[in-house]
Amino acid sequence: MIARQCTHNDRKKHGKDRKGNQRWQCRSCRATFVSDEQRPLGDMRIDLDKAAMVLSMLLEGMSIRACERITKMKRDTICDLIVQVGEGCDKFLASRVRDVESKFIELDELWGFVTKKSKNVKPGDDPEAGDSWTWLAIDSDSKMILAHAVGKRDESTGVPFLRRLHKATTGRAQVTSDGLSVYTHNVPLEMGSRVDFAQLIKNYKSSQTETRYSPATITSIEKKPRFGNPLESRISTSFVERLNLTVRMQVRRFTRLTNAHSKSARHHSAMVALFVAWYDFCRPHETLGKATPAMACGLADAKWTIRDLLTEAAKG
């Protein structure tokens, strides 16, 4: 009679080896061993299904503490998961989103802050504290987020953002941005003669009668061609501004008037990268039927699950 081989499924932690790897002991046969199983989340020993559930909750606008209460996963572990997957997503997007044929591109920046708003930053505070701007570029037709960046609202962030957009796209495209001066010279400089560039400048009414959080009244809109021959009828930032609303609805740390704001610039950037990857590859867009933006651009054959995204992020 041949004895049944133990599968070591029922196991418990049993110290670590000389290299710091976790050792296990089988409760059945008492054998000790180091597991050779794949770890797509690096050093994090979290069940993939639970990790996918937590990330899905975060991407549907839930706060970290709410996820902690529901899933019983410690918030420090959730924060580590965001960094691990988010930074992997950023590398994945940089390598995967390349040579996309886009005819009409819209650019905009979304305001947020880390730790505290810039007006409240004092000498001696964390240098990363203050206002943080998320730069986004979206293809008007496929709704694909072609490039993103997180940082200040100046050339130190804007120029790398435009370089990333240049690598992500191919062919001739019309680019429209708001009136930010960073775009005025840098879009033609970084993207070259293959773009037709225009800026949509909105002028606002200044009034003391408006309430604190009410939007300013637009008094006029100017369409200014800057480079090439942009079509006046396609000079618009409507789609990217609608994307800003989606970000604020889906990512809790962008929701105004809450204490769910980011406490770390690294976590803030990682969460933005995670959202962009999820938006492009996992979330069907209403205007595309059942397709995701990545499917519309030919970068994916089917809608991805969060678990698929975890696997790709691990490769990054």
% the chain with pLDDT above 90? 73
How long is the chain? 316
pLDDT above 50 for 305: yes
Cα–Cα–Cα angle for 172, 144, 62, rounded to 5 degrees: 155
Instruction: Report how far residue 314's alpha carbon sits from residue 43's, in angstroms, rounded to the nearest whole number.
Output: 11
pLDDT above 70 for 145: yes
Give the pLDDT score at 45: 74
pLDDT above 70 for 37: no
Give the pLDDT score at 13: 85
The strand pair at 32-34 and 100-101 is best described as unpaired
Mean of all residue pLDDT scores within the chain: 90
Give the pLDDT score at 170: 95
CA 106 to chain centre: 17
Q: 307 exposed, middle or buried (CB, 10 Å; 0-12, 13-18, 19+)?
A: middle
Instruction: Report how far residue 72's alpha carbon sits from residue 68's, in angstroms, rounded to the nearest whole number.
Output: 5
Give the pLDDT score at 212: 62
Instruction: Report how far residue 210's alpha carbon sits from residue 276's, in angstroms, rounded to the nearest whole number.
Output: 34
Give the pLDDT score at 47: 82
Name the band, by pLDDT with cuts 50, 70 and 90, for residue 255.
very high
pLDDT single digits (tens) 99-113: 999 999 999 999 999
pLDDT above 90 for 172: yes
Give the pLDDT score at 2: 39
Query: Higher confidence at residue 314 or residue 54?
Result: 54
Half-sphere exposure of 62 (CA within 13 A, CB side): 17
Instruction: Report how far residue 124's alpha carbon sits from residue 52's, in angstroms, rounded to the nearest whole number.
Output: 38
Query: Higher confidence at residue 137 or residue 202?
Result: 137
Name the band, by pLDDT with cuts 50, 70 and 90, for residue 1.
very low
Q: 85 exposed, middle or buried (CB, 10 Å; 0-12, 13-18, 19+)?
A: buried
Do 139 and 100 touch, CB atoms closer than 8 A? Answer: yes
Name the band, by pLDDT with cuts 50, 70 and 90, for residue 3.
very low
Of 104, 185, 183, 186, give the one whose Cα is nearest residue 146: 104
Name the band, by pLDDT with cuts 50, 70 and 90, for residue 208.
low
Give the pLDDT score at 273: 98
Listed in sequence order, the residues at least 6 apart from 258 whose beta carbon sits closer than 8 Å to its beta carbon are: 63, 252
Instruction: Report how far residue 238's alpha carbon sits from residue 270's, in angstroms, rounded to the nearest whole number.
Output: 26
Instruction: Report how far residue 7's alpha carbon sits from residue 27's, in angstroms, rounded to the nearest whole number.
Output: 11
pLDDT above 90 for 143: yes
Query: Higher confidence at residue 280 or residue 315?
Result: 280
Give the pLDDT score at 205: 78
